[in-house]
Amino acid sequence: MKRQVSESSLLNPGSFKRILFIGDITGESALEALERQLPLWRTHWRPDFVVVNAENLAVTGHEASSGFGMTPAGLARLFGLGVDLVTGGNHSWDGPYAAEVHRDMRVVRPLNYSAHAPGRGAGIIKREGFHLGVVNLVSRSALSQADAPLDALERQLQIWGDSVDAVVVDFHGESVAEKLSLAFAVDGQVAAVLGTHTHVPTLDTRVLPGGTAYVSDVGMTGPGGGLQGIAPGPFVESLRSRLPATLPMTLATGTTEFGAVLVTLSASGRTALSINRLDAAHGDVRLWQGAGAVAEREMEPEREWAKGAELRVLEGRNDPC
């Protein structure tokens, strides 16, 4: 049964670690909006770790249909905000900078994909003696030649063993049933399974019986005036004509949607106490708690976030960390 958590309790973090996860950043306008929004969230919620999915950070082709991906300049802006680690998905290797961006130890890509593709699929962030493991998975619904995600995850968990204090999984795919099945399969072994890819935020934030926080899709951080961040014109044209669109595919306009969740870990640090979906400004919606209670403690002193965390990222599927 879910119990609502007061914002005053969540604002007293004490020794409970928090992970802010931001979904699918889509385009330049989203990055600019995040540059304004993330400092507010950091001041208000004081997360210990910040992880973002940024596979759609930039349009790297002549239009959106020819590729998204990441650029070194865009990543530098994210890391300048204090982002600790960047995850990806089916667009991880789009664009001319794919090999370069995946040489950065703070960028991971789907673990359950070819060992010959650039990058690594898992990373460990270290801050104040706490080791947070982050695993990036992709479903075959998003990347048809991917390997079985659960097999890859279970191998990674076995390799890490007790070398990490908690694990967060970004599962990039379309199927709610697949994402939730995987979450139940590792319930209690990981702190969170957070869905990405569809760009549509779901309302099913929950903590599973074993202590794993879950949401089917975090949603995108991107322009809300279209279809999943894309202008509606070519989609409407194809729907009407049932032929390939002639209109160019461009990013949408409109107010930025913020897809983000805050996961608060339990006192043990290995499982989750709560998962909270954040909106713009400070974020004050759907604050739900799993087993346990949030202690009332004095506010921590302001932290120097720009310095970031120490990060260790080793190789992916065939040479995991």
d(CA 147, CA 140): 8
Residue type, position 286, single letter:
R
Q: How far is CA 146 from CA 140, 227, 256, 320, in A?
A: 6, 26, 31, 16
CB 58 within 8 A of CB 95: yes
d(CA 24, CA 199): 7
DSSP for 183-210, please give it.
HHHTBTTBSEEEEESS----S--EE-TT
Find the largest Cα–Cα distance for the chain: 61
Rounded CA-CA distance 113/318 in Å is 10
Cα–chain center distance at 255: 21
Can you tell me the distance from the alpha carbon of 89 to that of 169, in angstroms, rounded to the nearest whole number?
Answer: 12
| The pair of three-digit structure tokens given for residue 16, joined into one six-digit string | 């409970």
* 282 classed as catalytic: no
| Length of the chain measured in residues | 321
Please state, in angstroms and rounded to a whole number, the distance separating the CA atoms of residues 288 and 290. Answer: 7
Pair 133, 124: CB distance under 8 Å: yes
Q: Given 44, 62, 91, 116, which residue is catalytic? A: 91
Q: What is the C-alpha to C-alpha distance for residues 202 and 10, in angstroms, rounded to an integer?
A: 22
Catalytic amino acids? 91
